[in-house]
């Protein structure tokens, strides 16, 4: 893969929080292979995952920082000399957040506040936070904490002052095969010949890890500050995924779990009034629009009443695409489905 004429990471120091998670690991591998940063600092709490990452990637530009986004002092140290922050650290399991609300608030909200403070105090130039469709019209604590986190980052632009730190968010749907994803669960249940589905009508937005990484990098290159970048991605019925994994298995409907939506939303009708429609993406602009923020990109306005929902999406994964992504996840293109 050839690099663009202007490599946003060339000679830069990147801090990646949550760097040993599904997205973080994929981002690290891609950036070190296709770009030339001065250093990529992986900031996370899990020493074992950091050890495995260091064994997998033997690159002097990879730096491993043990730390927690709750710990502002450690975060301040990790941000010294950093040019770009990609914030992917979060407590993401819906039920875990429901039963441990204080922990979710400390990591997802107070961690975001610490990132904003550390970025401003260290003169970081660009900060992009990874968010989720569950932050839109949230019905569970995870979504509510991510909504608060998004607000912290977007309005962090108001606090940067003369240091000109730009804060933006990238919002997308379920990442195929990530930790906690339904696909690994279905593959495990396949051996029992019974797959459990919460609701046969349930739909979700889907994006691959590779596409998520590419979109985040594109957004970092485009961002000015205050934007929420939303990729145009396909939807999928959960029941269609189950049938692709195990065509002969019995599908058992078990009911929607606490804090779970039947369908997801990436852009609300309210947001669509200040959203740009661009090839491959939407950009939700901040409702406040400081005159000093000159935006070099353009796009068309959305129709009145537009909302971007997983069940109302115009783009759906075909049966062939579903089978292909399962094979890619399993790492065996010859696997029969």
User: Which of 134, 146, 237, 261 is the catalytic position?
Assistant: 134
Cα within 13 Å of Cα(61), Cβ side: 21
In the chain, which residues have pLDDT < 70? 1-6, 177, 179-180, 289-293, 332-337
134 is catalytic: yes
Q: What is the pLDDT of residue 333?
A: 41
Q: What is the pLDDT of residue 287?
A: 87
The CATH topology of domain 13-173+206-232+266-303 is Rossmann fold (3.40.50)
Cβ density class 161-184: b for 16+ within 10 Å, e for less = eeeebbbbbbbbbbbbbbeebbbe
The conformation of residue 19, written as its DSSP 8-state character, comes to T
Collapsed DSSP state (helix, strand, coil) of residue 194: strand
- Whole-angstrom CA distances from 254 to 74, 173, 194, 229, 293 are 44, 23, 12, 34, 49
Q: Which residues pair with 283 in a beta bridge?
A: 229, 276
Q: What is the pLDDT of residue 292?
A: 61
> Could you tell me the sign of the dihedral formed by the alpha carbons of 143, 47, 51, 185, in that order?
negative
The helix (H) or strand (E) run that includes residue 236 is strand 235-237
Residue-wise pLDDT for 117-171, tens only, equals 999 999 999 999 999 999 999 999 999 999 999 999 999 998 877 778 999 999 9
How many residues are listed for the chain in this entry? 337
* Cα 193 to Cα 119: distance, rounded to the nearest angstrom: 50
- Whole-angstrom CA distances from 174 to 199, 207, 290, 292 are 17, 6, 33, 35
Alpha helices in the chain (DSSP H): 22-34, 47-56, 72-78, 94-99, 101-104, 111-122, 141-156, 182-189, 209-222, 238-245, 269-272, 319-330
Burial class (CB in 10 A: 0-12, 13-18, 19+), 277: middle
Name the residue ranges covered by the structural domains of the chain: 13-173+206-232+266-303
């Amino acid at each position: 893969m050839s690099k663009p004429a202007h490599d946003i990471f060339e000679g830069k120091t990147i801090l990646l929080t949550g760097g040993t998670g599904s997205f973080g690991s994929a981002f690290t591998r891609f950036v070190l292979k296709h770009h030339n940063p001065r250093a990529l600092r992986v900031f996370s709490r899990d020493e074992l995952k950091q050890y495995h990452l260091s064994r997998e990637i033997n690159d002097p530009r990879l730096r491993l920082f043990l730390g927690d986004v709750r710990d502002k002092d450690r975060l301040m140290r990790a941000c010294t000399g950093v040019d770009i922050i990609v914030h992917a650290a979060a407590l993401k399991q819906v039920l875990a957040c429901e039963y441990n609300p204080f922990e979710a608030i400390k990591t997802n909200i107070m961690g975001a506040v610490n990132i904003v403070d550390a970025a401003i105090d260290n003169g970081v130039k660009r900060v992009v936070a990874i968010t989720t469709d569950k932050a839109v019209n949230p019905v569970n604590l995870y979504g509510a904490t991510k909504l608060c986190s998004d607000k912290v980052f977007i309005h962090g632009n108001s606090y940067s002052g003369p240091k000109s730190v730009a804060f933006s968010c990238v919002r997308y749907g379920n990442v195929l095969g990530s930790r906690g994803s339904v696909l690994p669960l279905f593959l495990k249940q396949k051996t029992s010949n019974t797959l459990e589905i919460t609701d046969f009508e349930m739909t979700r937005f889907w994006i691959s890890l590779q596409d998520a990484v590419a979109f985040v990098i594109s957004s970092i290159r485009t961002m000015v500050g205050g934007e929420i970048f939303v990729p145009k991605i396909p939807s999928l019925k959960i029941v269609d995924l189950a049938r692709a994994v195990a065509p002969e298995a019995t599908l058992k409907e078990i009911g929607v779990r606490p804090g779970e939506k039947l369908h997801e939303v990436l852009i609300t009708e309210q947001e669509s009034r200040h959203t740009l429609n661009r090839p491959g993406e939407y950009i939700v602009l901040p409702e406040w629009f400081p005159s000093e923020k000159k935006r070099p990109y353009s796009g068309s306005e959305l129709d009145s009443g537009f909302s971007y929902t997983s069940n109302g999406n115009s783009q759906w994964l075909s049966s062939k695409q579903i089978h292909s992504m399962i094979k890619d996840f399993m790492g065996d293109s010859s696997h029969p489905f």
